[in-house]
Amino acid sequence: MAKIKHIAIVTMDPPKLAEFYTKVFDMKILHQSKGGATYLTDGYLNVALLPNKAEGKPNGLNHFGFEIEDQEEIAKRIVKFGINPPAPRPRNRPYAEKRGCDPEGNNFDLSVHGFQQVEYEADRERGVKRV
């Protein structure tokens, strides 16, 4: 069964929002990217705080992510709804291999390796593990 493992929030100030979630809800910082994103966890569900770099784009929920067992099976199920199969994520995205959407256009990420460990596609191909 697929499990929702993360949500992503677009914000003008990821460090400020990270401070809020760590101090109010005792969330832990998993990773801070060079691009300004901060990744938090409560030990079960993860939150990605993404910098808002698009002029006029509202802050708020951006996407959610599923941890799944079989990319191909999920893609087949999605196509049955008349939707394009999930597309590969950019190689510099460590937490998901694919991006898809539901019938109403809500974006979601798909990952077979999970969210707890930073894994870039190029590293996975070379067998490199990061902590």
What is the 3-state secondary structure of the chain?
A: CCEEEEEEEEECCHHHHHHHHHHHHCCEEEEECCCCCEEEECCCCEEEEEECCCCCCCCEEEEEEEECCCHHHHHHHHHCCCCCCCEECCCCCCCCCEEEECCCCCEEEEECCCCCCCCCHHHHHHCCCCC
pLDDT above 60 (res 129): no
| Predicted local distance difference test score (pLDDT) of residue 119 | 52
| Predicted local distance difference test score (pLDDT) of residue 131 | 44
pLDDT above 70 (res 126): no
Residue-wise pLDDT tens digits, 91-102: 766 678 899 988
pLDDT above 80 (res 125): no
Residue-wise pLDDT tens digits, 57-91: 889 988 988 888 999 999 999 999 999 999 998 77
| Predicted local distance difference test score (pLDDT) of residue 87 | 93
**Domains of the chain and CATH, by start:** 3-126 (3.10.180.10)
Residue-wise pLDDT tens digits, 31-47: 999 999 999 999 989 99
